[in-house]
Amino acid sequence: MKYNKKRRIIGFFVTIVALVFLILFAIRTGSLDIGIIDLLKALFIEADEKVGIVVDLRLPRIIISVVGGFAIGVSGTLFQSVMKNPLADPGLLGVSSGASLTFILMIWLFPGLFFIAPLMAFIGGLAACFLVYSLAWKGGLDAMRIILVGIAVNAVFLALIETAQKVSAGGRVIENVVTGNLSFKNWNHVTTLVIYATVFIIIAFLLSSRCDIIAMDDRTIASLGMNVNVLKIQISVVAVFLAAISTVILGTVSFLGLLAPWIGRLVVGSEHKYLIPYSMLAGGFILLLADTVGRTVAYPAEISVGVIMAVVGGPFFIALLKRTGGKYAK
């Protein structure tokens, strides 16, 4: 077997260590330089003003990057398993922009209902997913057609988001949702994201054997007595929720859902009980890296994480399309 135990263990170990170091690096890098020991001292022994700023401003965005990256990495893996195609990504499929459009409309038109906004974003993401699936339906769900329809639907949603933004005279919140800006995140955002993401990532882990099974032909799955559509919907719902919750907190981040499982397959192989946790780690690492680069590379200006991911992810998507186009095109 190509992906033996040793290779997997090394893969997980290296990635976890790299993630921990990146988190530590991100904590101490920025307009205020603090040492890790100072931070730990301030957190557990005595309060320090400088450290307090870091804890209030920098720490939330670091946690959000990592956990949001976890959610998007897992979401992308689930979408790719359902689509049986490594080019599926919640951003490209219009799921994230559908969630974000719903979220924007909610907070613009019904600002009082902010607390149920994540739920509405989830419903918006589901609706977008359903719209794409049904537009792509032609006697069955062909993955290539889903992706093409998804790109078109995504473009429409992005235009509507921009319109909503202009009409509503550009509130700060809306701008953050659109471009994936991680400034101005506080501990409330952290709590919301961490609770929802944890629950749904655990559900995703429990679905890992179903994700393996779905890699077989639909008729073979059906011949084992399973309802293929129910299976696809189960996995899609979890994937949509993870994409929606991360979009609400982080904004639209494209290509991360593509990149994380792609790296995962290289390192730990296609078995989902390894691929899902690994893609989770890879997603968190990449997103935190993108955010850290974004806030340091052009300091004092900030480049949003959504922009960084698009700049890196776009060319990567094209390369992946060229490599796998022949294999996956029908």
Partner 1 sequence: MQNNRTSFQIKSLIFSVESTNIIRDISVDIEEGKITSIIGPNGSGKSTLLQLLTKNYKRTSGDILIKGNSIDKIKGKEFAREVAIVNQDNTPPLDTTVRKLVSYGRIPYKKISLTTMDEEDEKVVDWALEITGLTELAGKDVSSLSGGQRQRAWIAMSLAQKTGILFLDEPTTYLDIKYQMDILNIVKELNEIHNITIVMVLHDINQAIKYSHNIIAMKDGKIHSVGNAKSMITPDLVEDIYQVKVDTFEIDGIKYIVSF
* Interacting residues with partner 1 (CB under 8 A): 1-3, 209-210, 212-213, 215-217, 219-220, 222-227, 269-271
Q: Which is nearer to partner 1, 50 or 323 (CB)?
A: 323
Kindly list the distances between the CA atom of residue 156 and the CA atoms of 125, 127, 128, 161, 246, in Å, as whole numbers in the listed order: 14, 14, 11, 9, 21
Q: How far apart are CA 228 and CA 266, in angstroms?
A: 27
Q: Which is nearer to partner 1, 142 or 271 (CB)?
A: 271
Kindly list the distances between the CA atom of residue 308 and the CA atoms of 64, 256, 305, 311, 326, in Å, as whole numbers in the listed order: 16, 11, 5, 5, 29
Give least dist CB 39 to partner 1, A.
Answer: 41
Which residues, 6 or more positions from 149, have their beta carbon under 8 angstroms from its beta carbon?
A: 132, 135, 136
Which residues, 6 or more positions from 26, have their beta carbon under 8 angstroms from its beta carbon?
A: 58, 62, 65, 288, 291, 292
Q: Which is nearer to partner 1, 190 or 207 (CB)?
A: 207
* Nearest Cα residue to 182 out of 58, 97, 88: 58
Give least dist CB 165 to partner 1, A.
Answer: 42
Give least dist CB 31 to partner 1, A.
Answer: 46
Give least dist CB 206 to partner 1, A.
Answer: 9
Q: Which is nearer to partner 1, 2 or 6 (CB)?
A: 2
* Nearest Cα residue to 295 out of 189, 181, 218: 181
Name the strand (E) or helix (H) holding 306: helix 305-328
Tokens (6 digits) for 186: 């506080």
Q: Which is nearer to partner 1, 109 or 266 (CB)?
A: 266
Give least dist CB 329 to partner 1, A.
Answer: 15
Q: Which is nearer to partner 1, 12 or 108 (CB)?
A: 12
* Nearest Cα residue to 74 out of 61, 57, 89, 58: 89
Give least dist CB 265 to partner 1, A.
Answer: 8
Task: Count Cα atoms within 13 angstroms, Cβ side, for 73.
Answer: 30
Give least dist CB 25 to partner 1, A.
Answer: 33
Tokens (6 digits) for 214: 């779905």
Q: Which is nearer to partner 1, 5 or 49 (CB)?
A: 5
